[in-house]
Amino acid sequence: MAEGSTLTEAPRVLRVALLGGGTVGSQVARILLDDAEALAARAGARLELVGIAVRNVDAPRDVELPRELYTTDAESLVASADLVIELMGGIEPARTHIIAALRRGASVVTGNKALLAQDGATLFDEADAHGAELNFEAAVAGAIPIIRPIRESLSGDRITRVLGIVNGTTNFILDAMDTTGAQFEDVLAEAQRLGYAEADPTADVEGLDAAAKAAILASLAFHTRVTLEDVRCEGITGVTASDIAAAQDAGMTIKLLAIAELVPAGAAGDGVSVRVHPTLLPAKHPLAAVRGAYNAVFVEAENAGALMFYGAGAGGAPTASAIMGDVVTTARRIIAGSPGRAGTTRTLPIVGLESVTTSYSIGLEVADEPGVLSRVAQVFADHGVSIETMRQKLEQKIGRGEVLPAAEEGAHGAGRAELRFVTHRASEAALAATVADIKNLDVVESVTSVLRVEGI
Ligand SMILES: NC(=O)c1ccc[n+]([C@@H]2O[C@H](COP(=O)([O-])OP(=O)(O)OC[C@H]3O[C@@H](n4cnc5c(N)ncnc54)[C@H](O)[C@@H]3O)[C@@H](O)[C@H]2O)c1
Ligand SMILES: N[C@@H](CCO)C(=O)O
Ligand code: NA
């Protein structure tokens, strides 16, 4: 405390501009107004909400707030603020407003994963150049504290892998498919009816929302720059009821995982692989227990071991909780006069899926006749892909190293059989070549699914 100051000194005031008054913004405004006393005590300054920028001042709203706070003039709000909370979403004009705030030396709190994943580097450079802070806990997994634990709590450790269920909509859909046995399209329609899925669900079901979060997590976990373009992304639209049933038969469940891991990149040392795709997980894996629209992030670090962060990944009040945590932390640092951001320290090569090994589950429809199994198995062997388990519909199962008796293999006569193979870890290239050759076998009717497997 400066010489001569006393505890009775008038509290400092920080002018807070809120850009966006929708699902999250309206809850943030409510907390700023309702909890003003407690927030002032924790932040060390009164947080004065000076305005809320919206598209339409007269739009109907769920949360009652003083009408005079609303404005369409975001630019003027930003020009007068010490701290800007950006909850408009989208790239522009959010990006322009954030840069304008940072250039004035005002700190910014945002939940905008799309913008951070596309152009975070520019924003962080602006923050660094002007001694301002840019915080974004709400951008990944909503209310769950995951950004700060990775940036701060684990900053003395070496994170090797992050596996996340970071999209609630797709987890809700996959969980409902798992519980009811229904097809994707039917569950999506029901999720839209219940308000769990957006009218335009593309960003969620195609994995793009999860990919943006994966890019942010990878950048922080590995102290390097990763953008949306670096993320290999596959959504859940191709997951069928029969994939889910086969997973259940094998004691597994299908989750849309965001996976970021350190992988060897030859002489260069470490590289980074970042991907989003439907993934088979054993039912005993902690992420398999994440139901409904919940999110969870599983972090593996050299010294901490495995950690799991779980909770609500979306929703107005939960996401506002993460925003407010950033607001109080940022306010404290403004008062203390010390921006606390630890910047990126290196640039690791992004490694494509062709260099990453993973286990696979492959479903086939084949002619049910003698010799089919050995011909399929030979194709795996030809490409050096080792089989961990094989299941045939009718509950015949070959475990590690066992061989199905020839008599049994031919016992069902003409007709079709469904085979499911799970492989040991193999490269994408070896797996693709195996699948292509299997498709060409005359005894194979079709390859019904190819899914990656984690946690076995
Ligand atoms: N909703 C969630 O559960 C959730 C969770 C995590 C992160 N986020 C992120 O938080 C942000 C806000 O999400 P939301 O769900 O509250 O959005 P929303 O669509 O409910 O609200 C957006 C608000 O921004 C205002 N706005 C948009 N464009 C504007 C413009 N050009 N000028 C002035 N005002 C404008 C709108 O009027 C509205 O008040 C997004 O970046 C989103 O990705 C949302
Ligand atoms: N659409 C996102 C909202 C949170 O980012 C989800 O389903 O998880
Ligand atoms: Na979060």
Ligand approaching nearest to the C-alpha of 208: 2
- The ipTM is 0.98
- Which atom of ligand 2 is nearest the CA belonging to 198? 1
Domains of the chain by range and CATH?
13-142+317-336 (3.40.50.720), 156-311 (3.30.360.10), 356-453 (3.30.70.260)
- Dig out the tokens for 314 from the structure: 């979306």
**Residue 315 carries which side chain, given as an amino acid letter?**
G
- Dig out the tokens for 134 from the structure: 């840019």
Which residue has a Cα nearest atom 4 of ligand 2? 314
Distance 65 CA to ligand 1 centre (A): 17
- Residue 130 exposed, middle or buried by CB count within 10 Å (0-12, 13-18, 19+): middle
Distance 344 CA to ligand 1 centre (A): 28
Q: Name the residues around ion ligand 3, CB cutoff 5 A.
A: 137, 141, 144, 146, 322
The 3-class SS string of the chain reads CCCCCCCCCCCCEEEEEEECCCHHHHHHHHHHHHCHHHHHHHHCCEEEEEEEECCCCCCCCCCCCCHHHEECCHHHHHHCCCEEEECCCCCCCHHHHHHHHHHCCCEEEECCHHHHHHHHHHHHHHHHHCCCCEECHHHCCCCCCCHHHHHHHCCCCCEEEEEEECCHHHHHHHHHHHHHCCCHHHHHHHHHHCCCCCCCCHHHHCCHHHHHHHHHHHHHHHCCCCCHHHCEECCCCCCCHHHHHHHHHCCEEEEEEEEEEEEECHHHCEEEEEEEEEEEEECCCHHHHCCCCEEEEEEEECCCEEEEEEEECCCHHHHHHHHHHHHHHHHHHHHHCCCCCCCCCCCCCECCHHHCEEEEEEEEEEECCCCHHHHHHHHHHHCCCCEEEEEECCCEEECCCCCCCHHHHCCCCCCEEEEEEEECCEEHHHHHHHHHHHHHCCCEEEEEEEEEECCC
Ligand approaching nearest to the C-alpha of 322: 3
Cβ < 6 A, ligand 2 pocket: 142, 167-169, 204, 209, 313-314
User: Residue 393 catalytic?
Assistant: no
| pLDDT tens series, the chain, 456 aa | 344 444 445 559 999 999 999 999 999 999 999 999 999 999 999 999 999 999 999 999 999 999 999 999 999 999 999 999 999 999 999 999 999 999 999 999 999 999 999 999 999 999 999 999 999 999 999 999 999 999 999 999 999 999 999 999 999 999 999 999 999 999 999 999 998 899 999 999 999 999 999 999 999 999 999 999 999 999 999 999 999 999 999 999 999 999 999 998 887 789 999 999 999 999 999 999 999 999 999 999 999 999 999 999 999 999 999 999 999 999 999 998 876 555 667 889 999 877 789 999 999 999 989 999 999 999 999 999 999 999 987 534 444 444 444 334 444 456 889 999 999 999 999 999 999 999 999 999 999 999 999 998
Distance 144 CA to ligand 1 centre (A): 19
